[in-house]
Each structure stands twice: as C-alpha cells, then as structure tokens.
C-alpha cells in the first residue's frame, strides 16, 4: 500500500481529496508540501500538461501527462524523468488546485 492509497480509494468513490505531497520531482509546478486538491477524472478529458494522481509500475505519483497515444498516457515529472506509459484506468484524479 503506497502513500496515495487512501486518496485513490476516495477518488474512486467520487470524492475530491486534498493532500500535501513531499518531494522535489515537480518543483516549478508543485513545491514540496504545497496543498494539492485532486478531483476524480475521466481519462478521455485529459490533455498533455495535466497533473494527475496515477500509478505507474506499482508506484503512485502526482505527475504530469507528457504524451497521449490513443488510450495510453505517458507520465513523467517536471524535471525531465519519464515514469512510463499507462492506461487511463491507472489514472485516478486530476489536480485542480495548488496552494501554499
């Protein structure tokens, strides 16, 4: 069970969640400890540049959609690292607000 399991469960139930992720992989978009609000999302509405709560290779991330090919999404951070390609079913929510 990863750091986001509780939030993913709530998103799957249709709830909006807020949390303060830690780390520097999204610096420039999200600073470590900023409050992020994430809402459930239909993957068909996602665009390149959206910040999503997702799971790639068993790891949970609040990272960027870097590319879209049909129903597949490439996920990466804001520092140039690519996590990998996932299906829309591995995307649980979209970040809609970032605050201090």
Instruction: Tell me the CATH number at 47.
Output: 2.10.109.10
CA dist 57 and 54 (Å) reads 10
Q: Which residues of the chain have pLDDT under 50?
A: none
Query: For position 57, what pLDDT does the model report?
Result: 96
Query: For position 36, what pLDDT does the model report?
Result: 98
Query: For position 25, what pLDDT does the model report?
Result: 97
For every residue of 26-93, DSSP letters joined together read: TTTTS-TT-EEEEEE--GGG--TT-EEEEEETTEEEEEEEEEEETTEEEEE-TTS-EEEEEEGGGEEE
Q: What is the pTM of this model?
A: 0.96
CA dist 86 and 52 (Å) reads 12
Residue range of the domain that includes 33: 5-99
User: What is the tally of structural domains in the chain?
Assistant: 1
Whole-number percent of the chain with pLDDT over 70: 100
Query: For position 71, what pLDDT does the model report?
Result: 95
Dump pLDDT digits (tens) for 4-23: 999 999 999 999 999 999 99
């Amino acid at each position: 069970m990863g750091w986001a399991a509780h939030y993913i469960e709530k998103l799957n139930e249709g709830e909006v969640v807020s949390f303060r992720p830690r780390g520097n992989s999204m610096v420039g978009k999200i600073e470590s400890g900023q409050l992020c609000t994430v809402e459930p999302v239909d993957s068909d509405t996602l665009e390149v540049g959206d910040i999503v709560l997702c799971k790639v290779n068993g790891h949970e991330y609040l990272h960027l959609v870097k590319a879209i090919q049909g129903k597949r999404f490439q996920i990466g951070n804001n520092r140039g690292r690519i996590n990998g390609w996932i299906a829309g079913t591995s995307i649980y929510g979209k970040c809609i607000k970032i605050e201090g």
